[in-house]
A and B are shown apart, each in its own frame.
Chain A
Amino acid sequence: MNEEISRGLKDQLLAEIPSLRAFALSLAGIADRADDLVQDTLVKAWANADSFTRGTNMRAWLFTIMRNTFFSQYRKARREVQDVDGEAAARLVAMPDQMSHLDFTDFKAELDLLPADQREALVLIGASGFSYEEAAEICGVAVGTIKSRVNRARRRLIERLALQTDEQAVDTPNSTKA
């Protein structure tokens, strides 16, 4: 890599770090692990700079590296054996009185309870600003798969929100599963 290219890449990577950290936190959940994931992504990006096609979306390229790294390494270490529904239900029972308005008590915690593939799709579409087509490319799946994951993630979060609202005896229609 000559000096000019090296400098350009460095500046571009630096500019993408805030987005990379936000995406990493969405994927990995815990801040420490998220920053380790950012570090691994930067190192891989640097080593594979040749595979980046100039003129294409660098953020999408970096997100692809990051999510592939996460799903090949990090995911094994956590989330796999969570009793998702039981855990959420236990928490809901434990703290009904603390909810005074229609809101998530802890949105991040709810996000973490989603299956990793749904959470990833939801964040790419709902927060990172990627199109369905871009998200599909980043995740290496069909556009329809992304749509379906986003839908399931949204429905699940809506159910949680409705559950929490029901706990306060607010007269809200149930959002039951289809």
Chain B
Amino acid sequence: MTDNSKSNNGDTSADIGLEPLLQAHIGRKLREFYDSAAREPVPDRFRLLLDQLENGDLEGVEAAGKADRA
């Protein structure tokens, strides 16, 4: 992604000036949560779905979607 370090600065409100450490902590927790979710292996469900899409099997896709929600 593009470098966003510049635009991430300069938006700190004065009234939360006591908390650069808390800000950093929140940033770490947020990335921890997100990265651990993104590290999960891709479930077969999605490989199957992409196969069906590739084969133009939209009926199969809808059936699978219904089954998953049932």
A161→B22 contact, CB < 8 A: yes
A158→B46 contact, CB < 8 A: no
A43→B49 contact, CB < 8 A: yes
Cross-chain contact of B50 among A42, A130, A132, A150 (Cβ < 8 A): A42
Partner-binding segment picked from A12-20, A77-85, A87-95: A12-20
Q: Please give, as numbers and ranges, the residues of chain A lying within 8 Å of B35 by CB-CB distance.
A: 22, 127
Cross-chain contact of B69 among A36, A128, A130, A173 (Cβ < 8 A): A36
Does A46 lie at the interface of the complex (its beta carbon under 8 Å from any beta carbon of B)? yes
| Chain A CB within 10 Å, residue with most, of B27, B37, B45, B68 | B37
Does A167 lie at the interface of the complex (its beta carbon under 8 Å from any beta carbon of B)? no
B50→A21 contact, CB < 8 A: no
Cross-chain contact of B16 among A42, A111, A155 (Cβ < 8 A): A155
The 25 listed contacts between A and B (C-beta, < 8 Å) are: A18-B38, A18-B39, A18-B40, A21-B42, A36-B65, A43-B53, A46-B53, A103-B25, A107-B29, A107-B32, A111-B30, A122-B30, A123-B34, A126-B26, A127-B34, A131-B1, A131-B3, A131-B4, A132-B7, A155-B13, A155-B16, A158-B16, A161-B22, A162-B19, A175-B22
B residues sitting closer than 8 Å to A (CB atoms) are: 1-4, 7-8, 11, 13, 15-16, 18-19, 22-23, 25-27, 29-35, 37-40, 42-43, 45-47, 49-50, 53-54, 61, 65, 68-69
